[in-house]
Structure 1
Amino acid sequence: MTDVRRLPIVRRSRGRAAGVWGAATGAIMVSVLLSGCVGGGPAPTPSTASASPTATATATPSQTSSAIELHPDGTAQQNLPFFNKVNKATLAAKPAAQGRDFIDALVAAGFVKADMQVTPDTSTIGLKANSIQFSVRMGDSCLIGQNGADAGGYSSQVTPVLGTGSCLIGQTRAIDW
């Protein structure tokens, strides 16, 4: 005769064993499925495997600040480091630099004045502008710099030339000096 007190224990242990087995099987299945998502492609070739964070973080001679120079026939993207170097030097020499200060420094550095634009230093009611923008067109792209309190200091970017053929939107001032 079967002891009735033992049946629930056996059933419970079988249920727990089945539950543990099911959970383990489920975890294995999930990990197998997810492992197919990680790495998702062929093994790296030696050329891609050799690029390490250390290698990319180390400056080569062409990346050091002394080697940053104007590339007159280069793209705006290639000239962005030099553009930034000139503008940051302008701000270091004159923290309250105005539009003309940036334009004069960029011209002295070799950028073409005819390819530049600058926004006014004052608002329409005669107050000091909270930020100014200045640009240099290079082919079908623009180097755009911005400086001022509303811009959070100096920033720059490369953008495509606008449909109007210019780099800046809105009112700009004549560069007639």
Structure 2
Amino acid sequence: MSRHPERRRARPASFVLLAVGLGAALVLSGCSDSQTASSPPPSATATAAPEASPSAAVPAGPALIPEGSAEDNLPLFTSVTAAVWAGPENVSGRAYVDALVAAGFDKAAMQVTPDQTTIGNPAESIQFAVRWGADCLVGQVGPSSGAPVTVVTPGLGDGKCLVGATRPIDW
């Protein structure tokens, strides 16, 4: 029983410190309000705050950065790839191309491999790419790939990103 009185003594001390700290914070916040006599009137502050609040409160997802590098745009490319992969058309090259176009990527700068093998079987994996300056954003998905893979690679000398047969993006 000698342990319990010690515990009871320790708890009030920590609560007292917490209360003192909160009290000091309240006093300091009150002082800072009284010292800002040249601050804008409350109506101006109330108008500006709602405009700033939504953008600060809602974290923005990845966005296309037209002046950025391929590395700068990899988060958006990866996000779009993951969203399509999670959907019903996750092994359709067209679904990836359409989603990337909807996100702002240039369709004319894209390549995609066929969804089927030369004998008509579903492809074990498909690749799609967007040329971005000297680099390429490349994605690979499919049953043999497991989770989607997205990377930035140097572009090929011929201006393309993918080696081998690709299908026309004519839709």
Q: Which TM-score band applies after superposition, normalised by the shorter structure?
A: 0.5 to 0.7
- Structure-2 residue corresponding to 1:123: 117
Match of 2:161 among 137, 156, 167: 167
Whole-Å Cα distance in 1 between the matches of residues 89 and 169 of structure 2? 21
Task: Name which of 94, 98, 111 aligns with 1:104.
Answer: 98
CA distance in structure 2 between the partners assigned to 1:127 and 1:154 by the alignment: 20
Q: Which SS does the other structure have where 1:156 is aligned?
A: strand
Q: Measure the CA separation in 1 of the matches of 2:144 and 2:118.
A: 16
In the alignment, which residue of structure 2 is the partner of 1:46? none
- Aligned partner of 2:128 in structure 1 is 134
Unaligned runs of 5+ in 1: 1-60
Q: 1:114 to 1:65 in 2, by over 3 A?
A: farther
Query: Kindly tell me: are residues 65 and 143 of structure 1, through their superposed partners in 2, closer, same or farther at Cα, counting changes over 3 Å?
Result: farther
Deviation at 1:73, TM superposition (A): 1.7
Change (3 A) 1:80 1:65: farther
Give percent identity, aligned residues only.
52
What's the counterpart of residue 146 of structure 2? 152
TM-score (norm 1): 0.61
Distance in 2 separating the partners of 1:87 and 1:147 = 9
State the structure with more CA Rg: 1
Q: Normalised by the size of structure 2, how large is the TM-score?
A: 0.63
Provide the residue aligned with 2:137 in structure 1: 143
How many correspondences in the alignment?
116
Q: Mark the runs of 5 or more structure 2 residues left unpaired by the alignment.
A: 1-54
Deviation at 1:65, TM superposition (A): 6.8
Q: Give the CA deviation at 1:149.
A: 1.8
Deviations 1:100-119 (A, max 9, x none): 00000000110000000000
What stretches of structure 1 move > 3 A for 4+ residues in a row? none
